[in-house]
Chain A
Amino acid sequence: MQLLLAISIGILAGSGVWLLLRPRTYQVIIGLSLCSYAVNLFIFSMGRLRSGAAPILSSRTGSLADYADPVPQALVLTAIVIGFAMTALFLVVLLASRGLTGTDHVDGQER
């Protein structure tokens, strides 16, 4: 499971960075989204990978080792919300730029 997650984070981040460096604004926004997925998965994995463990205490007895770490899950939720808002905002700027310059090149002009 760890290897699989590591590889998928790597692929997401790699594709994201490649797309970020492309000259079209649409590629950049997709790149940003992929990077944010990679980062979110990474945050999630920092709570150690567990399956079948709840992050919320269900009873006062029992060992804490039976539970997953809730903090990274809370962090990743915040990061998802913020990332989503930023992507939406970037989309608006992207459209404004397309409207004002007539091109979807990130520099506003074809080279």
Chain B
Amino acid sequence: MDGWAHHLIIAPIVLPLVAGALLAVYDERRQFLKGLINLVSTLTNLYIAIVLLQQADTSTTGVYLLGNWPAPFGIVLVLDRLSAMMLLLTAVLACASLIFSLARWHTAGAHFHTLFQFLLMGVNGTFLTGDLFNLFVFFEVMLASSYGLLLHGSGPRRVQASLHYIVVNLTASFFFLVGVSLIYGVTGTLNMADLAVRIPALPTENRLLFEVAAAILGIAFLVKAAMWPLGFWLLSAYPAAAAPVAAVFAVLSKVGVYVLLRLCPLLFGTQAGEMAGYGGTLLLVGGLATIAFGTLGVLASQAMTRIAGFSLLVSSGTLLAAVGLSNAQITGGALLYLVSSTLTIGAFFLLIELIERGQNPGADVIAITAETLGEENGEGGEAEVGTGFAGTPAVLGACFIGCALLLIGLPPLSGFVAKLALLAAVLAPAEQGATAGIPVANWVFTALLLLSGLAALLTLSRVGIRAFWAPIDTVIPRVLVVEFVPVIGLLLLTLGLAIKGGSVMRYMDETARAMHAPSAYVDRVLMAPRVPPAEAGR
């Protein structure tokens, strides 16, 4: 990797930063221009993510030394298969929700486009960084823009939800800081690869302190991933958010899962000596509890947005439990499940807004548009005149069935393939021999995962009948074609994931194997060559 290809690693951070800063310059009357800049930047981001994915898949781990300082001393960006995959997932979801928002939602409040780009920057940075403190900084960039985006559209409900969301996340950030600084105090480094080297060499008297630090740090990520006793904030925040915002937030809750996926095998893998497998049981039990709670919630919910929120909990719980089981095969299945469920829930959040627009004409969308109209004159008005097209109910229904199939985990879409891959790995007999058998936890995991599918089936049938068949005086929602495009696009992507299941699964398995054998990652980061001074001065 040399020349421009090397510098491409930093592009997913710099591009949204520049675009976001540029967008902040124009005022709110230039909506078309702002939308265009945002769209160009987001599409470029998608293209870069695809190139980076190919790069990560064909060559070794890419390391980018910021400021040309060697690894444990300077800050590094690391691109491996896992981060490339997450970048692409984010980019896809961002494109979908941006296109969706361009139809009407982006005018519902100020600075939507700027915040959107900064959110992308924060999320991309989180996936690329190889340093714990930088992780905190990107986390905060992401959270700060998510606070703004959650408020997008305003209204008492959103402000109330934001208030709770901000307090919970700020508190989680304090845990993050305490954990990070304690880790620095114990080990003297914050570079993830360097940490992995130093952990086995920790003196025994410092081990307890390090475990405390890791536990405190873990709380911050578990709050973000919404593990059972820490996840109640999600259910008031996400359903309150504007639809395109909620769709992007679907990937936000996966950020916590990503960090755990990254750190658990790296720091507490088999090479960690006495600390190997630290926290695994907690993640497993917590994940199972989250699935159980999410399943009950799905069964009990009436509003579709709450069903989507609880589905997100189920998906988080499944992933956490899979991280807790800490096994390369299971992780491979879990990665596919992560991609599939994130796309699904993103599409579902977008779809819900379209469906509920029909059920409840004059719902909060219009109230909000009227609110902004008072301040801004014009713009909002034309969003109302949108020409819906005749087949709207049929397309909405088809999309709903698609989302339902994905959430339940029925063929032919990727929800089925992902659950199959996960369960096949969970129920694969242990390698040590026939005597080991399958642990009870794995059976519980399987049962809960299948039950969650059943709960989704029951609830979605009930809600679907009520939304599409039961109404007598059906109001056909005015939906623009451009609002269908992202939903259908995401659903087609999941279909593609299922069709190309073989090659996708190969990628996931290689990712998982690399994660569980982190010595290659560690070597690449710590041995990363500096750019010679002459070239650096260019």
Contacts and interface: CB of A to CB of B under 8 A. Distances in A.
Partners in one complex: yes
A106 B163 contact: yes
A37 to B, nearest CB: 11
B177 A43 contact: yes
B184 A71 contact: yes
Contact of A97 (B133, B159, B184): B159
A32 B159 CA distance: 18
A20 to B, nearest CB: 7
A42 B147 CA distance: 26
B177 to A, nearest CB: 5
Interface stretch (B57-65, B167-175, B414-422, B484-492): B167-175
B178 A97 contact: no
A101 B137 CA distance: 33
A20 B167 contact: yes
A100 interface: yes
Interface in B126-169: 133, 136-137, 140, 144, 147-148, 151, 154-156, 159-160, 162-164, 166-167
B166 A101 contact: no
A21 B216 CA distance: 20
B465 to A, nearest CB: 34
Interface string A58-89: 00000000000001100100110010011001
B151 A82 contact: no
Contact of B182 (A20, A46, A48, A96): A46
A89 B181 contact: no
Contacts of A75: 133, 180-181, 184
Nearest to B174: A39
Given A43-B177, A93-B159, A35 B166 contact: no
Contacts of B163: 25, 93-94, 97, 106, 108
Interface string B471-511: 00000000000000000000000000000000000000000
Contacts of B411: none
A106 B181 contact: no
Contacts of A48: 185
A101 B156 CA distance: 7
B178 A100 contact: no
A42 B184 contact: no
A47 B188 CA distance: 9
A86 B171 CA distance: 11
B137 A82 contact: yes
Contacts of B190: 71
B142 to A, nearest CB: 12
A86 B176 CA distance: 15
A94 B137 CA distance: 24
A101 B184 contact: no
Contact of B185 (A46, A82, A85, A96): A46
Contacts of B174: 35-36, 39
Contacts of B162: 93
Contacts of A107: 160
Contact of A100 (B137, B159, B185): B159
A26 interface: no
Given A72-B181, A82-B137, A89-B147, A32 B160 contact: no
Contact of B144 (A28, A71, A85): A85
B156 A100 contact: yes
A89 B166 contact: yes
Contacts of B184: 46, 71-72, 75
Given A32-B167, A43-B177, A90-B166, A108 B160 contact: yes
Contacts of B136: 78
Contacts of A96: 151, 154, 159
Given A42-B181, A100-B156, A108-B156, A78 B133 contact: yes
A65 B170 CA distance: 36
B159 A28 contact: no
Contacts of B144: 85-86, 89
A71 B183 CA distance: 13
Contacts of A20: 167, 171
Contacts of B154: 96
A47, A85, A86 interface centre (most CB from chain B within 10 Å):
A86
Contacts of B156: 97, 100-101, 108
Nearest to B141: A82
Interface string A6-43: 00000000000000100001001000100110010011
Interface of A: 20, 25, 28, 32, 35-36, 39, 42-43, 46-48, 71-72, 75, 78-79, 82, 85-86, 89-90, 93-94, 96-97, 100-101, 106-108
Given A43-B181, A75-B184, A96-B154, 20 more contacts: A20-B167, A25-B163, A32-B170, A39-B178, A42-B177, A42-B181, A71-B184, A72-B184, A72-B185, A75-B133, A82-B137, A86-B144, A86-B166, A90-B166, A93-B147, A96-B159, A97-B160, A100-B159, A101-B159, A106-B164
**Complex A-B, nearest 5 residue pairs according to Cβ-Cβ distance, in ascending order:** A46-B185, A43-B181, A46-B181, A100-B156, A108-B160
21 contacts: A20-B167, A32-B167, A35-B171, A35-B174, A39-B178, A42-B177, A43-B177, A71-B184, A72-B185, A75-B133, A78-B137, A86-B144, A89-B147, A90-B167, A93-B162, A93-B163, A94-B163, A100-B155, A101-B160, A108-B156, A108-B160
Interface of B: 133, 136-137, 140, 144, 147-148, 151, 154-156, 159-160, 162-164, 166-167, 170-171, 173-174, 177-178, 180-182, 184-185, 190
